A and B are shown apart, each in its own frame.
Chain A
């Protein structure tokens, strides 16, 4: 009986710890006011092409996983992420777009975030999306990726 009680207490403790960890993961993402909503927006606006795990593909939907935050370390990369067509033209408000972009950076590529990274603000996103990239997107992206590898 005592062993059973001990096991139950241990299991309850583990559950509490894991719940706290999950809560922390969801509620403490810098620059993300509503993580749950940001995740929902990612599903609705991004996941269809970039896949649920951000893996994308090598043909038309570039991977986010392990890749997207590298853009922030290259000149022009931060602006590129706010001007790329899928981001700039999405039917979300500036606040929600900043949330989902910051959420994506932390969720899929936190390891590559620069030490001095400052999350996108709604006003910054609002300015960047005013000048969306069009046909020049592919060439610009390639030049940024080339700089990453230098």
Chain B
């Protein structure tokens, strides 16, 4: 026990001889400043690699049609069919641009708009069927509102929850189903 006391005393005196309160404060300040700088270090982040502020989930690869007439990445908000969408993209949620994720039900009542396909410059009619039944997907939020009208025209407003006519009215994500070619602008 006496040896333990001596050892502790020796260590304490050693620390007291070789350090000061000022140096302790300087060391502590350096540590705090250094810790604050850690987040700005050039650490690789998968979701930052796409360089797109609308990019959704980390590590997601592009999803394309493989058809030159239907260009674009369907996980990105700037995909042409999403021009009037307001919600989470089902392509990022386990579904596709025209089908719902497993465990959800597609609403038969839907908000319909038109978008111009950059491949041919024509306006196509898009049905934004919501997928319903489980809580919000939370990935790839996309809010573009071409053709959106105020709620006094409910059939042309995309702010509503369109989970109508389904067993559950809980919203999960939105699809963008191609259903026709627009004849004339409305």
Contacts and interface: CB of A to CB of B under 8 A. Distances in A.
A40 B155 contact: no
B110 A40 contact: no
A46 B180 contact: no
B127 interface: yes
Nearest to B181: A40
Nearest to B113: A44
A36 B109 contact: no
A44 B186 contact: yes
B6 interface: no
Contacts of B181: 40
Contact of A43 (B109, B153, B156, B179): B179
B149 interface: yes
B180 A49 contact: no
Interface in B110-149: 110-114, 125, 127, 149
Contacts of A114: none
Nearest to B184: A37
B156 A91 contact: yes
Contacts of B180: 40, 43
A60 B149 CA distance: 20
A37 to B, nearest CB: 5
Contacts of B170: none
B54 to A, nearest CB: 26
Contacts of B127: 48
A48 B110 contact: yes
A41 B112 CA distance: 11
A91 B149 contact: yes
A78 interface: no
B129 to A, nearest CB: 9
A90 interface: yes
B112 A40 contact: no
Contact of A48 (B114, B149, B155): B155
Given A48-B110, A57-B165, A92 B152 contact: no
Question: Which of B125, B127, B179, B186 gathers most chain A CB within 10 Å?
Answer: B186
A75 interface: no
A45 interface: yes
Contacts of A141: none
A86 interface: yes
Contacts of B156: 45, 91
A92 B186 CA distance: 7
B152 A89 contact: yes
Interface of A: 34, 36-37, 40-41, 43-49, 51, 57, 59-61, 86, 89-92, 96
10 contacts: A40-B125, A40-B184, A44-B112, A44-B125, A44-B186, A48-B109, A48-B127, A49-B109, A57-B109, A89-B152
